[in-house]
Amino acid sequence: MKIKTYNNLNLEEFIELGKTLGRKLKGGEVLVLASDLGGGKTTLTKAIALGLESKDHITSPSFTILNEYKGRLHIYHFDFYRLSDPGIIRHQLSEVVHDNTSVVLIEWADIVEGTLPEDTIKLVINKTENDSRDIELHIPEGKEYLI
């Protein structure tokens, strides 16, 4: 596992990082977006979707649990914040994490960790002073093309 860090990114740099990441995705990737509330998970998802050439309106799936978008690759955006147990959604997640024509983005992934593949990519977002962010990009072996 390699860790790439990005420090003190302003909003524009944060969005550009997401777009760059989206452009590099090949399909079959699972990305966990980890931060506190208001840390920028949905903003990063919007940027990744732009990098994947999506023209869809990207919103937080906090109340719907799953939003799907079209782009160069199909995008599944899960948010497990409101769930104490993923229930039937765990089955749906286990099906799409192995789809090589899609990208899976997951917010609040703790309750589904056992469902995620070993090569899951993790982005840890820490909000700092002046609305900037520090990012840790955890890249498993075989996904170095994302660095």
Average pLDDT, the chain: 92
Are the CB atoms for 14 and 47 separated by under 8 Å?
yes
Q: What is the pLDDT of residues 60-69, one digit of tens each?
A: 877 778 999 9
pLDDT bucket at 10, cuts 50 / 70 / 90: very high
Which homologous superfamily is 2-141 in?
Answer: P-loop containing nucleotide triphosphate hydrolases (3.40.50.300)
Are the CB atoms for 50 and 18 separated by under 8 Å?
yes
* pLDDT surpasses 80 at 47: yes
For residues 114 and 94, give the distance between their C-alpha atoms in angstroms, rounded to a whole number.
10
